[in-house]
């Protein structure tokens, strides 16, 4: 995948993990370097013509004034040509709950028609704020994926979340290139089948590629069996994992999905199918690339989460 990583980052004093700390390299720059290494892609930093102060309070005041006045922030000429790149990985810190004004200014100067834009950001509790909405406004014509949001204090420990997100990025491009007109099947599953869909499965997001949802159906501390309704968006699947000192039973309720044990062929799943995973068996399960999927998971024991299902392996499944 031909790509370039373009980012803005602020070194010096930053608010990190509840305190102001002096950083030699900004957190977004650390994340950008990780992405560049994984993609073997060039990096280009958006640098303001007038550098931001290393002092936290001064930078805070300046960035607020720029945002409130919608100021055009001038940046230094870039040394790496990004005009011809079709896939742009864009990184930024979240300031005041949104994009820094220098990033907004840069985006407004570019032609985004038919280009892929993969945003990533660092924050200290706000998540990506309204960055996704702002990106959609500032980058008309771009194929835009949801922003990867990583806490600044955790960038050095974000490799698993980063690997899962990059897998989604690569899978999305590959799927659109191969079958740009493919239709999504079983969309009614998105709204729940028999049981409620539940909320976004944020607690386990680092162990999934794509978006999943979880509704806990049994919340009785006297019962040592977990029962939950899990819904997978098209292309979503969990990492390889093992249940120790227990087991898992899947009751398929909607859509189409996959189940696979290590060393065995993948099994295609439909409503009414039942899967029993025994203690110690390495496996994964998830949706097909073009269908929503849901199942009830009945689980005991302790899960051990392992590596993601590779893009190549998932793409090779016979849909």
Q: Where are the domains of the chain?
A: 4-178, 187-308
- Tell me the two tokens of residue 254: 């909607």
SS3 string of 218-244? CCCCCCCCEEEEEEECCCCEECCEEEE
What span, in angstroms and rounded, lies between the C-alpha atoms of 193 and 252?
Answer: 10
Distance, CA of 38 to CA of 120 (rounded, Å): 14
The pLDDT of residue 177 is: 54
Whether the per-residue pLDDT at 178 is higher than 60: the answer is no
Tell me: pLDDT of 285 over 70: yes
Give the pLDDT of residue 179. Answer: 46
CA distances from 207 to 5, 12, 13, 92 (A): 25, 33, 32, 24
What are the tens digits of pLDDT across the range 72-124?
898 888 765 555 578 899 999 999 999 999 999 999 878 787 788 999 999 99
pLDDT over 80 at 157, yes or no: yes
Please, what CATH class does the domain formed by 4-178 belong to?
A: alpha beta
- The secondary structure of the chain in percent helix, strand, coil, rounded to multiples of 5, reads 25, 30, 40
First to last CA, the chain: 23
Helix (H) or strand (E) holding 163: helix 159-178
pLDDT tens, position by position, 183-196: 778 888 988 888 99
Q: How far apart are CA 168 and CA 136, in angstroms?
A: 19
Query: What secondary structure does DSSP assign to 164-223, as a single string?
Result: HHHHHHHHHHHHHHH-TTPPPB-GGGGG-SSS---EE-GGGGGGEES-EEEEE----TT-
Q: What is the pLDDT of residues 29-88, one digit of tens each?
A: 999 999 999 999 999 999 999 999 999 999 999 999 999 998 989 888 876 555 557 889
Residue-level pLDDT at 83? 52
pLDDT confidence band for 311 (50 / 70 / 90): low
Q: How far apart are CA 219 and CA 207, in angstroms?
A: 22
pLDDT tens for 126-156 read 888 888 888 888 887 788 888 899 999 899 9
**Contact (Cβ atoms closer than 8 angstroms) between residue 177 and residue 256:** no
Q: Identify the CA nearest to 249 among candidates 222, 225, 268.
A: 225
C-alpha to C-alpha distances, 258 to 44, 189, 209, 232, 284, nearest whole angstrom: 39, 16, 14, 11, 8
Q: What is the pLDDT of residue 140?
A: 76
CATH class of 187-308: mainly beta
Q: How far is the C-alpha of 100 from the C-alpha of 14, rounded, in Å?
A: 14
pTM, entire model = 0.57
Judge whether 314 and 171 are in contact, CB under 8 Å.
yes
């Amino acid at each position: 995948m031909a790509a370039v990583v373009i980012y803005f980052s602020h070194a010096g004093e930053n608010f990190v993990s509840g305190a102001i700390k002096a950083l030699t390299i900004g957190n977004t720059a650390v994340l950008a370097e990780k992405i560049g290494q994984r993609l073997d892609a060039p990096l280009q930093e958006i640098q303001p013509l007038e550098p931001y102060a290393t002092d936290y309070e001064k930078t805070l005041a300046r960035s607020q004034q720029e945002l409130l006045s919608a100021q055009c922030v001038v940046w230094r000429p870039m040394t790496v040509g990004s005009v011809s790149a079709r896939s742009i990985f864009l990184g930024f810190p979240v300031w005041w709950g949104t994009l820094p004004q220098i990033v907004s200014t840069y985006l407004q100067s570019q032609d985004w028609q038919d280009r892929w834009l993969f945003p990533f950001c660092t924050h200290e509790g706000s998540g990506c704020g309204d960055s996704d909405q702002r990106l959609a406004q500032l980058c008309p014509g771009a194929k835009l994926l949801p922003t990867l949001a990583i806490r600044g204090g955790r960038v050095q420990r974000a490799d698993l979340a980063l690997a899962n997100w990059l897998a989604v990025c690569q899978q999305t491009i590959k799927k659109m290139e191969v079958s740009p007109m493919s239709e999504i099947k079983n969309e009614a599953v998105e709204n729940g089948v028999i049981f409620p869909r539940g909320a976004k499965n944020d607690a386990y997001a680092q162990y999934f590629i794509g978006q999943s949802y979880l509704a806990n159906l049994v919340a009785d501390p006297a019962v040592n069996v977990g029962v939950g309704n899990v819904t997978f968006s098209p292309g979503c699947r969990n990492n390889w994992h093992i249940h120790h000192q227990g087991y898992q039973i899947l009751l398929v309720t909607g859509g189409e999905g996959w189940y696979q044990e290590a060393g065995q062929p993948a099994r295609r799943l439909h409503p009414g199918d039942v899967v029993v995973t025994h203690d110690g068996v390495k496996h994964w399960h998830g949706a097909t690339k073009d269908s929503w999927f849901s199942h009830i998971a009945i689980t005991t024991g302790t899960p051990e989460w392992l590596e993601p299902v590779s893009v190549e392996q998932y793409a090779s499944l016979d849909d």
